Amino acid sequence: MEVSCFSQNVLLVTLLLAIAVSLVESQGTRVGFYSASCPRVESIVRSTVQSHFGSDPTIAPGLLRMHFHDCFVHGCDASILIDGPGTEKTAPPNLLLRGYEVIDDAKTQLEAACPGVVSCADILALAARDSVVLTSGASWAVPTGRRDGTVSQASDAANLPGFRDSVDVQMQKFAAKGLNTQDLVTLVGGHTIGTTACQFFRYRLYNFTTTGNGADPSITAAFVSQLQALCPQNGDGSRRIGLDTGSVNKFDNSFFANLRDGKGILESDQRLWTDASTKTFVQRFLGIRGLLGLTFNIEFGRSMVKMSNIEVKTGTVGEIRKVCSKVN
């Protein structure tokens, strides 16, 4: 009788564990989610991104930024893609995002291959990874299974990390999404590709100090004159400047070397070097002697997986949009 009861208890525990695992998997993302329902999903997204990248390489940083901006508002649910007045697209931090046509193109192809199966949120997560690979970064396995959100409000984008944020504020915003200080430094390292407009950093070049003249002292003097030539005080504020001087189109760790050398373009970026809590991670990415090194490409993939799982909608939550710009 004791053996029988023991066996029954073991069977019950095993069954409960199996149910628990099943529930966890049904509520989360996993690599290969579409292996049976849409096996060509990754190849279709990859070829679409490659095609657009071939004619316009600036699409790569655009898609990476878009995924970031999506995940920090309502989680990674493609709410950034929804059209209409007062949606996230219309919020000031999102006005210069680009690459929407790439996601739309991939979605059209996937609807033809696997109607109603692949979410726009997953397409965006895959496209961000493929963009890094196309700019010489390392690949990583992207967990899928997200569903699309149905709410998109411009006001919700107000708490996105900003170009004037202190490190403390940046850390608070990342921590609120379950991301730690290393994730912060790693993900900001995505600025190794792409550009920004003069209007977002020109204030650092003129009349920055409390005395009313001079540039931000954290910028190397020789670099100030270079930036002033590119962004005159009364010049075109929309002119684009590379965020990673000397390596704007290659995904590498030179962005961190520029921070060390006082050549960070955005104030929030440069502060990662001047603040002790983040400087150590920048140094580790640079392989500073005496510190445990970090490999940027590897850590970037890990942090991207963490970020891409922020507040995801899975199971029966959300929907699978037929058109990424419109709620069903």
19 has a pLDDT exceeding 90: no
Count Cβ neighbours within 10 Å for each residue of 101-110 and write b for 16 or more, e otherwise: ebbbbbbebb
pLDDT of residue 28: 84
Helix (H) or strand (E) holding 227: helix 221-230
- The neighbour count for residue 206, using CB atoms within 10 Å, is 16
On whether residue 5 sits in a domain, the answer given is: no
Same domain, 156 and 171: no
Give the helix/strand (H/E) hosting 36.
none
Residues 182 and 294 in one domain: yes
pLDDT value of residue 290: 63
Residues designated catalytic: 69
Domain of 80 in residue numbering reads as 40-160
Query: Of 134, 160, 186, which residue constitutes the final position of a domain?
Result: 160
- The annotation status of 47 as a binding-site residue, yes or no, is no
Same domain, 226 and 120: no
CATH number, position 214:
1.10.420.10
* Res 8: pLDDT: 52
Q: Are 159 and 173 in contact (CB under 8 A)?
A: yes
Clarify whether residues 176 and 301 are in a common domain.
yes
The reply, when asked if residue 188 is annotated as ligand binding, is no
Residue 88 marked ligand-binding: yes
The answer on 289 and 173 residing in a single domain is yes
Count: domains in the chain:
2
pLDDT at position 62 over 60: yes
Last residue of a domain, one of 160, 195, 217: 160
Half-sphere exposure of 72 (CA within 13 A, CB side): 26
State whether 173 and 127 are in the same domain: no
pLDDT at residue 4 above 60?
Answer: no
72-120 residue pLDDT tens: 999 999 999 999 999 999 999 999 999 999 999 999 999 999 999 999 9
212 band by pLDDT with thresholds 50, 70 and 90: low
- The per-residue pLDDT for range 245-259, each reduced to its tens digit, is 999 999 999 999 999
295 among annotated binding-site residues: no
Q: In this structure, how many other beta carbons lie within 10 angstroms of the beta carbon of residue 260? A: 15
244 assigned binding-site residue: yes
Final residue in a domain of this structure, among 108, 125, 160: 160
For residue range 163-198, list pLDDT tens digits in order.
999 999 999 999 999 999 999 999 999 999 999 999
Q: Is 191 annotated as a binding residue?
A: yes
Distance separating alpha carbons of residues 140 and 126, to the nearest angstrom: 10
Would you say residue 20 lies in a domain? no
Dihedral sign, CA of 237, 242, 243, 249?
positive
